[in-house]
Amino acid sequence: MYRNHHLVEVQRVLGANILPARVLRPTDKQAVERAFGVIRSLLFEHLPGYTGVDRGTDPEADAVLTVDAMEQLVATWIVGVWQNRRLGEHAPAWDPGGEHSPNTLLAAAMNQGGFAMEIPDPQLYYQLLPAHHVAIHLDRGVKIRGLWYDGPALHPYRNTPSTRSGRHKGRWVIRRDPRDVRTVYFQDPNTHAWHTLRWRGLPPEDDVPAFSDSRARELLATARTAGLKPRTDAELLPDTA
């Protein structure tokens, strides 16, 4: 019931194999919860704006880290602290009495087998984005999560069903990055080239900053609450006049 279909698709594209939890083994979850608890006590509780057990007096005002800064901080902490923990009873069989950490084991593996870097195909970015199965409208393009997108790449396929069968029979696949919903991506079934479809609400000068999936939901919810029914997506933009 908790299986994420997008995660399964990403796993298939990457050729990875994510093992599900063992059936009727609730004790396996304890190891994961302990890891999260340690990370919380060693790192998150010491960050400004922490909103856990002790929220502080004004956590929102204390929060000063952007998402990028937070990602960099967590990655640095993992390499410098978390991966340097002594393994103890989980030391490798070839040196059970040695002082080992995940970092030292990684170094040993690299010394033994080396490291081969594989440069991913540029199209992998599009293939890993969440997919939406939609129809291509004759005049307006495609509708994704309440917003309309269009572009010249759709011209040959307007009001035409795809050759897809099964659950999404006749639908076209549109890829979308939830972090920036100004554009979505369409792969031409004949040339296999990827094309960018712009949100129909974007002005020609293209000076609208990126906005995320959550911001789009808030915008549409506000419009519905106010009883607004915009004739075009361009009416959803703020009035700058």
At residue 241, does pLDDT exceed 60?
no
Q: Are residues 89 and 133 in the same domain?
A: no
In 10 A of CB 15, how many CB atoms? 6
Decide if 7 is inside a domain: no
- The answer to whether residue 57 scores a pLDDT higher than 70 is no
Q: Supply the pLDDT for residue 1.
A: 46
Domain that holds residue 89: 28-113
Of the residues 84, 113, 142, the one at which a domain ends = 113
In tens, the pLDDT along 109-164 reads 898 888 888 888 889 999 999 999 999 999 999 999 999 999 999 999 999 999 99
Residue 206 has a pLDDT of 65
The reported pLDDT for the residue numbered 96 is 82
In a domain, 43, yes or no: yes
pLDDT at 217 over 90: no
pLDDT of residue 239: 62
- The answer to whether the Cα torsion of 31, 33, 36, 37 is positive or negative is negative
Q: Are residues 149 and 77 in the same domain?
A: no
The pLDDT mean for the chain works out to: 85
Assess whether 85 and 149 both reside in one domain.
no
Domain total of the chain: 2
Residue count of the chain, please give it: 241
For the segment 80-114, what is each residue's pLDDT rounded down to a tens digit? 998 998 887 777 888 888 889 989 998 988 988 88
Among candidate residues 55, 87, 113, the one where a domain is terminated: 113
Strands (E), the chain: 131-134, 142-144, 147-150, 172-175, 183-187, 194-199
- Identify the domain boundary among 92, 113, 134: 113
128 and 208 belong to one structural domain: yes
Examine the domain organization and report whether 88 and 51 are in the same domain: yes
Q: Give the pLDDT score at 19.
A: 76
Rounded distance between C-alpha atoms, residue 12 and residue 29, angstroms: 25
DSSP for 55-102 reads --S-HHHH----HHHHHHHHHHHHHHTGGGS--GGG--TT-TTS---H
Same domain, 145 and 173: yes
